[in-house]
Structure 1
Amino acid sequence: MNVSHANEQEIDPAVWERPQMRQALAARDMAAVYGLLQRIGISQRHIAALTAQSQSEISEILKGRQVMAYEVLGRIADGLGIPRGYMGLAYDASSARLVGTAVSNHYGDSDEDEQVRRMLAHAAQVTIGVATGDAEEWAEPLAPVETPAPHRIGMADVEQVETVTRTLRALDYKHGGGVCRDAVVAQLAWSQRLLHATCTEKVALRLHEALADQHNLAGWTSFDVGLYGPARGHLARALEQAKHARNSSLAANVLYRMGRVHLHCDRVMDALRFFQLGQICAQDASCERTVAMLCANEAWAYALLGDSELALKSISRARDELARASARDRKPPVWVSFFGAADLDATNGMVYAGLTDAHLETAEQLLTSAIESRDPSMTRSRAFELTALATVQLRSGDLSAGITTGREAVALAAQIRSARIIDRLAPLEDAATRRTHNCDAQGLARSISEVRAA
C-alpha cells in the first residue's frame, strides 16, 4: 500500500462496523484497533501518517501501551475516520456534519412561515424532478432534538415505558441486538427524564422498576453486539434500580445476564459467582422459574470447569424448580417469561456437550428437543441451538447430519445482527475444519469463515 499519499488511502468506513472492531473501539483498546487494521493490510507507517503519530509510538501501542489522553484519542479517531461516538468521544466542530448540523440549518434557523415556505419550495422541486437531494446527506442523521417529557406522570406513563421495552425485547429475540440496541438506548435516555417528573411514591417505584428493565435490555443488546463495557454499565444500573424498586425477581434476572456476559467472555468463575448471587435474589422473590434458569446456567459453568458432579446436581435442581413453577401456573414476570422447557433443554444440552464425549448422545437429544419446541419468534435462540447441535453431531461422527444442521445454522446466523452468534460459530468451524478429508465439511468451514469475516 502506498503510504506517501495518505489522503488517497482512506480506510473503508465498513471496517469500523465489524464486531471485533466495535468492541475494541468501545474499550478504547488502541492496540487491538491497530492490530485489526494490520490484519487487513494497513501498515504501521500508514496508521502513523493518518494519526500524526510516529512509527515508534504506533509500535509501542501495539506492544500494549495504553492511550489515555483525550486529545490523542480524538486525533486518532479523526485521522482514521472513526465515528467519535464509537469511542465514547464528544463530537467537535469538525464533526458537525455527522450529527446533522447542516441538515438542521434548512429548517431550524428561521420562523415558522419561512420554514413552511422553504419546505413547499423544496417539495415542489423534488416532485417535478428539478431537485433530487444530496445522496451523501441522506446517510447523515438529522440534528437531535429532545422530545418534551411530561412534568407530571401517572401509572399510564410507566406502562407505556414497559410496553416499549417489551416491543424492543421482541425485536432483540427475533433479529438480534444489532437491530434494536440504538433504539433501546435512545428510548432509555428519554425514559430516564421521567425521574424529574412529579408523581406518587407508588408510581415512582414502578418507574424505577421499568427503568431497571430497560437498562437490563440495553445491557443485553450491548452484549449481543460485542460492546461488553457498555453492557456492564447498563446492567450495573439495572441492578441498582431493581433493588431500589424492591424487585428481587428483576434483580436476579440482571445478575443472570451479568453471568452470561462473563460466561461468553470465558470468565467462567466470575460467571458462576453472578449466577449464585442471582439465586439469592430469586429465592427472596420466591420465583422458581428464575431459580431454575440460574441453576441451569450454573450447571453450564460447572461443566466448563470440568466438574461433572456439580453440573449434574445443578441440572437436577433446575428441572425440579421449573416443574414447581409450571405446577403453580402463575404468569411469570416479563423479563423471565422466555425461560421454559425449550430453554432448559437447550442449556442442559450445552452442559452435556461441555462434559466428556460419552455425554454427546444426551446433548444431541436435548438440543434436538429444544429446537423442536422452540417458539418461532425466538430466532436467535434457534440459531444458537442449531449451531450447538451441528457441533455435537460433527464431534460424534455423524457428518451428514452435522453438515446439514450446520448449513441451516450458518444461513440463519447470517440473517441476525448478533456478534454472539458469530462468536458461537467458532467451535462449529473448528469441528468442520478438522474433517480434512470431507469436502462438504470443508465447504461448511469456509462458509462459516466468510460469515465471521463479514
Structure 2
Amino acid sequence: MAATIRRTRPPNTDLARLIEASGASHKSLALRVNQLARASGIETDYSHTSVANWARRGMTPKWPIPKLLAQAIAERLGRPVRLEEIGMGEAEAPDANVGLDFPRDPTDAIRTATSFWSSVNRRDFLAGSGFAASAFTVPVTRWLVSPADDTADHAGGRRVGRADLDELREAADDARRWDSRYGGGNWKAGSVTTCLRERATPLLRGSFSDDVGRDLFSVTAELSRLAGWTAFDVGEHEVAQRHFIQALRLARAGADVQLGCYVLTTMAMQSLLRGFTNEAVDMAQGAFERAKHNAVPKVLAFAKLIEARAHARGGDPRSASRALAGSEDLLARANERSGDEPVWIDFYDHARLSADATEVFRDLKDPRAVLAWNRQAAAMPPGVFTRSVGMRLAIVGTAHLQARDLDRGLELGNRSVDILARVESIRALDYVREFNDALAPWRREPAVREFVHRTRRELGVAA
C-alpha cells in the first residue's frame, strides 16, 4: 500500500461529510482511487480502511492521491471538487523543479542533489510531467563555461574515508554489469537510486578533504548518471533528465571534466532519442570541444559517436559519416594507449562502434552500409551486452526490410524477440516497434501477422 503521511490532527469532517453526500462506500471509493492511480502509472492498493483513516483519523495520503480522491468524489457528485472541500487543501504536488537546478555554489549543489534523491519515488514522483530539452539549457551552459569547481573540501558530519569511496565504486560497477545484461528495469540495476539516497547522501553531508571530496563527487556523479540511465531505459525520461543534470553538477564539483563530458554526451543521447536532434548535436559537440584537452581518446570517441547518431536522426548523411569517422579514429588512438581509461567507458570498443553504426545507417536508410557494419559488430558477446545485441538484431532486421528481404528480416526480428524477452527495457522495445513499422508493406502476410502477434504477446509491443 502506498505510504501515508501521519499527522496529529482531528478527524477530517469535511471529507467525511462529502463522502456521505456522494453516497459512495469507503470500499467503492478506495477501488476508484486505485483505478485512477493505475491510469496515472501509479500502483496503489488502498482499501476501505485507508478511506476510513483519511476521514476519521485525519490522515493525508501522499500526492497525487488527494487529487485523485477529489476526482473520485467529484464523479459521484457530478461536479468539480476542490482539495479544500475534502480537507486536504494543504496537500501539494512535489516541486516541479526538483532536480532541475544546477547551482553555482558546491554546497548548494550537495543540497540540491540530496533533496532530489530523497524525493524520487517512481510510483508517484512527477506524475504527468515529461522530458523537456529546454531544461538542459542552463546546466549545459554552466558546465561549458566552467566544468570544474575550485575546491571540494567540506565540513559536516562524519569523516569520509577511502573505504567509503570503495563501497560506492563497487555499487556503481555492480549496477553497470546488471544494466548491461538485464536492462534498467531489473531490480538490482534500479537499486542505484536507493544507494544514492541511503549511502551517498550521508557521505556528501560529511567532512572530507579536497582530495577525498573530488573522488567522492566523481563517484556520486557516476552513480547519478547510472540512476538516470536506468530510468531512461525503462521510459521514465523526466526522472532520468534530473539524474543527468545532478550527475553533471557533481562531476563539476569533482573537477572530473572527462566524466562531465561523458554525462553531457549521455544527455545528448537522451535528447536525440526524444526527437531533439539539433539540441543533441549541440550537446555532443560541446562535450567534445570542452573536454578535448582533458579527456582520454575513448571518452571523446563516444561523444563523436553520439554526434553521428544525432546527425543521422536529423537526416544529414555527410555530417553523420564525418562524426563516425572521427569516433573511429579516436578509438584507434585509444587502443594505442589502452590502460588509462576510466572503468565507466570500458564498454566502448570497435564492436560497439560498429553496432551503433548500424543504427546510424538504418536511420539514413542505407541497408548496404548497415550490413557491412554489422559484420564488424558481431563480436559483441550476448551474455555480457544482452540488450545491445537484441537491439542490433532488430536494427539489422529493419535494414533487410529496407532492402525488401522479408524472410531474412523476420528471421532476425524473431531472434531479437528471443533475446529482448529476457530484458526489462522500454528503450529496447522501441527498436522492435520500429521493426514492426517497417513491416507495413507486408501486413497481410501470415508470417508477418504472426510476428506482430508474438511481439504483442511476449513484449507488450502494440501493433
Q: TM-score over 0.5 for the alignment? A: yes
* Residue 416 of structure 2: aligned partner: 409
Which amino acid counterpart does residue 209 of structure 1 have in structure 2?
A: S
CA contact (8 A) 1:384 1:421 kept: yes
Match of 2:312 in 1: 303
Q: Deviations over 1:362-390 (max 9, x none)?
A: 11221343234346211111111111111
| Aligned residue runs from structure 1 range 244-259, under 5 A | 244-259=253-268
CA contact (8 A) 2:433 2:461 kept: no
Partner of 2:100: none
Q: Give, in whole Å, the separation in 1 of the partners of 2:397 and 2:33.
A: 35
Among 249, 261, 269, which residue is 1:260 paired with? Answer: 269
Deviation at 1:291, TM superposition (A): 1.4
SS of 1:218's equivalent in the other structure is helix
What is aligned with 2:348? 339
Q: Which moved more, 1:241-250 or 1:367-376?
A: 367-376
Residue 393 (structure 1) aligned to one of 366, 390, 400: 400
Which one of the candidate residues 203, 208, 211 is aligned to 2:217?
208
Say whether the 8 Å CA contact 2:312–2:360 is kept in structure 1. yes
Give the structure-2-normalised TM-score. 0.68
TM-score, with structure 1 as normaliser: 0.70
Letter in 2 for 1:183: S
CA distance in structure 1 between the aligned counterparts of 2:327 and 2:121, rounded to whole angstroms: 45
Residue 283 (1) aligns with residue 292 (2): yes
* 2:439 counterpart letter in structure 1: A
Partner residue in 1 for 2:72: 50
Which residue among 227, 230, 246 is the counterpart of 1:221?
230
Do residues 165 (structure 1) and 187 (structure 2) align? no
Tell me whether 1:312 sits opposite 2:321 in the alignment: yes
Structure with a larger share of its residues in helix? 1
The residue that corresponds to 1:125 in the other structure is: none
Q: Which of 414, 439, 446 is the aligned partner of 2:453?
A: 446
Report the CA distance shift for 1:453/1:310 in structure 2 as closer, same or farther (over 3 A): closer
Indicate which of 415, 427, 445 corresponds to 1:420.
427
Partner SS, residue 177 of structure 1: coil
Taking a change above 3 Å as real, the CA distance of residues 364 and 11 of structure 1, as seen in their structure-2 partners, is farther
Q: Deviations over 1:415-434 (max 9, x none)?
A: 11111112222111112243
CA displacement at 1:343 relative to structure 2: 1.3
Q: 1:193 to 1:453 in 2, by over 3 A?
A: same
In structure 2, runs of 5+ residues without a counterpart are 1-23, 44-67, 82-88, 95-119, 128-155
> Deviation of residue 55 (structure 1)?
6.7
Change (3 A) 1:432 1:211: same
1:379 is the counterpart of 2:376? no
Distance, in Å, in 2 between the alignment partners of 1:380 and 1:446 is: 21
- Determine the C-alpha separation between the residues in 1 that align with 2:420 and 2:317: 30
**C-alpha separation between the residues in 2 aligned to 1:346 and 1:283?**
24
Is the Cα–Cα contact under 8 Å of residues 367 and 399 in structure 2 kept in the other structure? yes
Q: Are 2:125 and 1:88 aligned?
A: yes
Which of 230, 242, 246 in structure 1 is aligned with 2:239? 230
Residue of structure 2 in register with 1:185 after alignment: 193
Assess if the C-alpha contact under 8 Å between 2:432 and 2:461 holds in 1.
no
Shift of 1:196: 2.4
Contact 1:253 1:335 in 2 (8 A): no
Deviations, residues 275-320 of structure 1 (Å, cap 9, x unaligned): 1122124313231111111112111111121111111111111111
SS at match of 1:226: coil
**Partner SS, residue 199 of structure 1:** coil
3-state DSSP of counterpart to 2:442? coil
The answer as to whether partners of 2:380 and 2:389 remain within 8 angstroms in 1 is no
Counterpart CA distance in 2 for 1:368 and 1:228 is 33
Amino acid at match of 1:86: R
Q: CA deviation at 1:197?
A: 2.3
Shift of 1:150: 8.4
Per the TM alignment, residue 220 of structure 1 is displaced from its structure 2 partner at its CA by 0.7
Residue 55 and residue 317 in structure 1: after superposition, are their counterparts in 2 closer, same or farther (change >3 A)? farther
Q: What is residue 62 of structure 1 aligned with on the other side? A: none
Q: Say whether the 8 Å CA contact 1:152–1:198 is kept in structure 2.
A: yes
Q: Matches of 1:230 and 1:49 in 2, distance apart?
A: 26
Distance 1:429 1:206, change over 3 A: same
Is 2:19 the partner of 1:7?
Answer: no
Q: Secondary structure at the match of 2:348?
A: coil
Aligned length: 351
- Counterpart AA for 2:178: L
Deviation sequence 1:42-73 (CA, Å, 0-9, x none): xxxx9997353577869xxxxxxxxxx87486
Q: Residue 174 of structure 1: which of 175, 181, 187 is its match?
A: 181
> Aligned partners of 1:410 and 1:88: how far apart in 2?
31
Paired residue for 1:197? Answer: 206
Contact 1:188 1:211 in 2 (8 A): yes
Q: C-alpha deviations, 1:53-108, integer Å up to 9, x for none?
A: 577869xxxxxxxxxx874869xxxxxxxx98622289xxxxxxxxxxxxxxxxxx
Corresponding residue number in structure 1 for 2:361: 352
The one-letter code of the counterpart of 2:391 is F
Task: Name the CA distance, whole Å, in 1 between partners of 2:327 and 2:311.
Answer: 14
CA distance in 1, matches of 2:80, 2:441: 40
Q: Residue 41 of structure 2 contacts residue 123 of structure 2 at CA under 8 Å; is this kept in 1?
A: no
Q: How much is the aligned-residue C-alpha RMSD, in angstroms?
A: 3.3
